[in-house]
Amino acid sequence: MSGRTPVVGVLALQGDVREHAAALRACGAEVALVRRPEELAAVDGLVLPGGESTTIDKLLRRFGLMEPLRARIADGLPVYGSCAGMILLADRIADGTADQQTVGGLDVLVRRNAFGRQVDSFEEQLHAPALGAGPDDPPMTAVFIRAPWVEEVGPGVEVLATVSTGPAAGRIAAVRQGALMATAFHPEISSDVRVHRAFLRSLAAAIADRAATGATSPAHP
């Protein structure tokens, strides 16, 4: 890893791929699109975009990415998921289809489409210190589109943000567990890149931890 810029992958099977890639590049990251197992093997971190979770699940299996991705997450790959990406990272889902699978890794129960249908989309001003929106910072504009929410979290999961207004007040909208982070909302479709910067900080910390223990990145032995 010494002297090399980390490569952040964006899963490019379906969803807000270009938007995430643009946000990451705006933060100075080197970005690669991931559609094949060999492309997954070459990245140091990964973003699972917003989109349709059932479609992404089927495409992960069709392209032979599901098991390699599960293995890399188990080995400590930093991953951020927005909306559908949150569902894919959840160990447990409610209101999923009968055959729906997740990649897993986050010890949470996530409910699909919990905030309502497309017509129920809304924006919320969130304060989330861990995401760079602390009490002294401008709030973060969070866009919820057919979004999930987190109903249950395991003991190792940190709640990063909750909805503060409306009928969904108190619902969990962002979580982190180790190298995994997820939001129910879509930061990639706003001009606010604080969530992406927070993920890049997590990626840098994970790389530093590996270096301190003498471990190498699975992507770059």
What confidence category does residue 36 fall into, taking pLDDT thresholds of 50, 70 and 90? very high
Catalytic residues: 83, 186, 188
Name 142's bridge partners. 124
CA terminus-to-terminus distance, the chain: 9
Other Cβ atoms within 10 Å of 114 Cβ, number = 18
Residues near 53 by beta carbon (within 8 Å), at least 6 away in sequence: 84, 87, 88, 96, 100, 112
Whole-prediction pTM: 0.91
User: Is 160 a residue whose pLDDT tops 50?
Assistant: yes
pLDDT band at 116, cuts 50/70/90?
low
The mean-pLDDT minimum among 97-111, 189-203, 205-219 falls in 205-219
Q: What is the pLDDT of residue 41?
A: 97
Q: How confident is the model at residue 217 (pLDDT cuts 50, 70, 90)?
A: low
Q: Look at residue 118 and tell me whether its pLDDT is greater than 90.
A: no
Distance of CA 1 to the CA centre of its chain: 23
The strand pair at 45-48 and 7-11 is best described as parallel
Assign domain 7-213 to its CATH superfamily: Class I glutamine amidotransferase (GATase) domain (3.40.50.880)
Q: How far apart are CA 84 and CA 53, in angstroms?
A: 5
